[in-house]
Structure 1
Amino acid sequence: MANKEKTRYSDSELQEFKDLIMEKIRVAKEELSSLTQSLSSPNSNGTDDTAGTFKTLEDGSATLEKEQINQLAARQKKFIEGLEAALVRIENKTYGICRVTGKLIQKERLRAVPHATLSMEAKLNQRN
Structure 2
Amino acid sequence: MDSRQAQGKADENQAPQLEKVRYSDEELQEFKAIILKKLEKARDDYEHLRAAITHSTSNDVEDTSPTFHVMEEGASALSKEESGQLAQRQYKFIQSLEAALVRIENKTYGVCRVTGKLIPKERLMLVPHATLSVEAKNRR
User: TM over 0.5, yes or no?
Assistant: yes
Counterpart pick for 1:8 among 15, 22, 44: 22
Task: Provide TM-score, normalisation by structure 1.
Answer: 0.93
Hey, what does 2:108 align to over in structure 1? 94
DSSP 3-state at the match of 1:121: helix
Structure 2: which 5+ runs fail to align?
A: 1-14
Offset at residue 111 of structure 1 (A): 1.0
How many residues were matched structurally?
126
Counterpart pick for 2:53 among 33, 39, 42: 39
Structure 1: which 5+ runs fail to align?
A: none
Task: Provide TM-score, normalisation by structure 2.
Answer: 0.85
Q: Name which one, 1 or 2, has greater alpha-carbon Rg.
A: 2
DSSP 3-state at the match of 1:103: coil
Offset at residue 102 of structure 1 (A): 0.5
Distance in 2 between residues matched to 1:42 and 1:34, nearest whole Å: 11
What RMSD in Å do the two structures reach over aligned CA positions? 1.4
Aligned pairs for 1:67-86 within 5 A: 67-86=81-100
